[in-house]
């Protein structure tokens, strides 16, 4: 396996979040696998932004700590980055006022600022000059870069960026890095962020209403759906706050739409009252929650997986919900699709729990198979035109605890839908018998729902001595670490509730040594496993510094415990 890690760094406002994906597309088109991980502070301008690209001749799943090539436009790089003697640093040292003679790394001093001034180009295209310099240094023909630029930029700015690219190629006079690896035909592969995949899956599932207030790192789901709203007949509403976001989605679902909302933990805090409304009214609702560090505002643009218990227990009292915890793009795609079917079939709120790392990083996949995917809208009352004004028992059990839905305007479907406890017709009631009857009916949904949720799976050598236990996006770093160390495997939870804990317990108990790996302080999945199985995982590998796990960290843990 060949591997190269390139980091691009610049102040916010310099286009760093566009440069990373743009270079990734160039590398994919050239025939390399690529994965991209962005870091940025919550600032409009200034600060320190970086985009790390992992490039390989094999599929690559997660980020590494070590950087091989650093293209930087920020003086802060020389304080923040761990530069080794073999690290290549490309920068305009005169512009940054950095004494390169004191650096213990390979230096390429490129006059970006002087070049744009001499060529009459805007300062911003220094980023394209740098990308072009990198491409030339890797032996990539300029035609590949220009082709990607043409697809990414408007005609209005294309010529300026072409000129910048030519400047970068002219400045680079050598192939300073060897990437003479075997190239693949990756034209059929896609390169997308997790949020783009979540939105694409929602479109595949027939979403026709999405409402929310934007909140990092879930915001780009809103942007993506808004971009394609007209193409797919979707109402996309940027609401005044998260409370309106969830209640509008509930209203739309009540009226018959396939509805979804999305936010992060802080926004979901505001949505909780609405969540209870969806539960008591048995209104289907998909909630896409992308986690970040908290509490309160926390670290808005960074990584954590600490909202698991929150979504499992949010709202007063207890009710049936479903929680998916996908680990990669494919699981995310099918989780969102299934979430819509389960929400409507069981008439419950369904969560798809992502995080900043999975939502905003770019990954490559060989596509998603949609053959066989079927939209299931559940039990719906078709109407009775012979008796259009008849009352309808909306909350009477039809099958397995599930009633039939009657959309507004359905002949013979007259009923009430209160936030109070109610009888079969929706009339408010605090009668003890009715309360008990309705609660027992709602919980009867669990028996079949648990059979439809994905179960924990074991990946790797079944006889390995060490087994990591994970959920969500930590799956990707464990897959990457398996390229270097074979004496471990891992159990991944693609969903947490409801699942078959009896078989899960059997899977856990047959392992030799368990290590919990989670992006939170308390090991939330470990606690949930202990509560439901009695299996207590003593060895924990927990990270809560706002960053995802890096491959080297997993390998170091394996060295310590082996």
Q: What is the pLDDT of residues 322-348, one digit of tens each?
A: 999 999 999 999 999 999 999 999 999
Chain region(s) in the chain for CATH 3.40.50.970: 191-366
Q: How confident is the model at residue 219 (pLDDT cuts 50, 70, 90)?
A: very high
Q: Is the pLDDT of residue 122 over 90?
A: yes
Mean pLDDT value across the chain: 97
CA distance linking residue 86 with residue 108, whole number of Å:
13
- Segment 445-489, tens digit of pLDDT: 999 999 999 999 999 999 999 999 999 999 999 999 999 999 999
CA distance linking residue 482 with residue 561, whole number of Å:
16
The answer to whether the peptide bond before residue 185 is cis (omega within 30 degrees of 0) is no
Chain region(s) in the chain for CATH 3.40.50.920: 457-561
Say what the pTM is: 0.96
Residue 324 near residue 350, CB atoms below 8 Å: yes
Superfamily of domain 3-171 in the CATH hierarchy = Pyruvate-ferredoxin oxidoreductase, PFOR, domain III (3.40.920.10)
49: its two tokens: 């932004």
- DSSP β-ladder status, 539-542 and 513-518: parallel
Q: What is the reported pLDDT for 111?
A: 97
- DSSP β-ladder status, 362-365 and 190-193: antiparallel
CATH of 191-366, one of 3.40.50.970, 3.90.1170.50, 3.30.70.2860, 1.10.275.10: 3.40.50.970
Classified as helix, coil or strand, 288 is strand
Residue 213 near residue 263, CB atoms below 8 Å: yes
Alpha helices, DSSP H, located in 190-241: 194-204, 219-227, 229-232
- Segment 239-258, tens digit of pLDDT: 999 999 999 999 999 999 99
Q: Give, for 282, the enclosing helix (H) or strand (E).
A: none
Calculate mean pLDDT across residues 548-552. Answer: 98
Q: What is the reported pLDDT for 487?
A: 92
Residue 515 near residue 539, CB atoms below 8 Å: yes
Q: What is the reported pLDDT for 45?
A: 83
Q: Is the pLDDT of residue 275 over 90?
A: yes
Q: Is the pLDDT of residue 390 over 90?
A: yes
Classified as helix, coil or strand, 51 is strand
CA distance linking residue 429 with residue 553, whole number of Å:
56
CA distance linking residue 44 with residue 75, whole number of Å:
18
Q: What is the reported pLDDT for 421?
A: 98
Q: Which fold has domain 457-561?
A: Rossmann fold (3.40.50)
Q: How confident is the model at residue 312 (pLDDT cuts 50, 70, 90)?
A: very high
Give percent of the chain above pLDDT 70. Answer: 100
Q: How confident is the model at residue 44 (pLDDT cuts 50, 70, 90)?
A: confident
Q: How confident is the model at residue 562 (pLDDT cuts 50, 70, 90)?
A: confident
CA distance linking residue 506 with residue 128, whole number of Å:
54
Q: Give, for 7, the enclosing helix (H) or strand (E).
A: strand 3-12
Residue 53 near residue 362, CB atoms below 8 Å: no
Q: Give, for 458, the enclosing helix (H) or strand (E).
A: strand 457-460
Chain region(s) in the chain for CATH 3.40.920.10: 3-171
Q: Is the pLDDT of residue 110 over 90?
A: yes
Q: What is the reported pLDDT for 413?
A: 97
DSSP code of residue 456: P
- Segment 172-213, tens digit of pLDDT: 999 999 999 999 999 999 999 999 999 999 999 999 999 999
- Segment 483-536, tens digit of pLDDT: 999 999 999 999 999 999 999 999 999 999 999 999 999 999 999 999 999 999
Alpha helices, DSSP H, located in 153-296: 155-171, 194-204, 219-227, 229-232, 242-255, 265-280
CA distance linking residue 210 with residue 236, whole number of Å:
5
Name 543's Cβ contacts closer than 8 Å, sequence gap at least 6.
518, 519, 549, 553
CA distance linking residue 473 with residue 469, whole number of Å:
12
């Amino acid at each position: 396996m060949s591997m190269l890690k390139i980091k691009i760094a610049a102040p916010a406002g310099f286009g760093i979040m566009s440069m990373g994906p743009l270079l990734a597309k160039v590398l994919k088109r050239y025939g390399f696998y690529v994965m991209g991980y962005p870091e940025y502070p919550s600032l409009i301008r200034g600060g320190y932004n970086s985009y790390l690209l992992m490039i390989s001749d094999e599929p690559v799943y997660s980020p590494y700590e070590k950087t091989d090539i650093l293209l930087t436009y920020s003086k802060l790089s020389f304080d923040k980055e761990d530069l080794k003697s073999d690290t290549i640093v490309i920068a305009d040292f005169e512009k940054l006022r950095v004494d390169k003679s004191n650096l213990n790394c390979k230096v390429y001093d490129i006059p970006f600022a002087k070049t744009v001034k001499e060529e009459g180009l805007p300062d911003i295209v220094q980023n394209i000059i740098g990308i072009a310099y990198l491409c030339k240094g890797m032996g990539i023909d300029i035609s590949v870069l220009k082709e990607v630029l043409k697809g990414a930029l408007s005609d209005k700015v294309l010529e300026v960026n072409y000129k910048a690219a030519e400047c970068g190629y002219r400045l680079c006079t050598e192939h300073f890095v060897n990437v003479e690896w075997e190239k693949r035909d990756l034209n059929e592969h896609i390169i997308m962020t997790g949020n783009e995949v979540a939105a694409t899956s929602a479109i595949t599932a027939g979403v026709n209403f999405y409402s929310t207030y934007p909140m990092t790192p879930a915001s780009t789901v809103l942007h993506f759906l808004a971009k394609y709203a007209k193409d797919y007949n979707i109402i996309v509403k940027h609401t005044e706050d998260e409370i309106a976001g969830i209640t509008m989605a509930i209203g739309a679902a009540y009226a018959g739409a396939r509805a979804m909302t999305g936010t992060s933990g802080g926004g979901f805090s505001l949505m909780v009252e609405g969540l209870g409304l969806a539960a008591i009214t048995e209104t289907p609702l998909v909630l896409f929650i992308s986690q970040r560090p908290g509490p309160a505002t926390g670290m808005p643009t960074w990584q954590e997986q600490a909202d698991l218990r929150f979504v499992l227990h949010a709202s007063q009292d207890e009710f049936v919900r479903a929680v998916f915890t996908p680990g990669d793009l494919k699981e995310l795609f099918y989780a969102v699709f299934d979430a819509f079917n389960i929400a409507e079939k069981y008439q419950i709120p369904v969560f798809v729990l992502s995080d900043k790392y999975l939502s905003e990083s770019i990954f490559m996949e060989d596509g998603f198979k949609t053959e066989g995917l079927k939209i299931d809208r559940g039990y719906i009352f078709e109407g009775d035109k012979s008796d259009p004004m008849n009352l309808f028992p909306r909350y009477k059990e039809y099958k397995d605890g599930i009633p039939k839905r009657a959309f507004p305007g359905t002949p013979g479907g007259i009923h009430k839908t209160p936030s109070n406890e109610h009888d079969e017709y929706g009339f408010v009631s605090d009668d003890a018998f009715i309360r008990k009857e309705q609660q027992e009916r709602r919980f009867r949904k669990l028996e079949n729902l648990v059979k439809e949720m994905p179960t924990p799976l074991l990946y790797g050598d079944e006889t390995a001595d060490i087994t990591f236990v994970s959920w969500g996006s930590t799956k990707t770093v464990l897959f990457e670490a398996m390229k270097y160390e074979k004496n471990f495997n891992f159990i991944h939870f693609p969903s947490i509730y409801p699942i078959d804990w009896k078989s899960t317990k059997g899977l856990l108990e047959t392992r030799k040594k368990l290590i919990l790996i989670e992006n939170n302080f308390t090991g939330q999945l470990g606690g949930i496993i202990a509560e439901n199985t009695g299996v207590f995982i003593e060895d924990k590998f927990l990270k809560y510094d706002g960053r995802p796990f890096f491959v080297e960290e997993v390998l170091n843990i394996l060295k310590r415990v082996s």
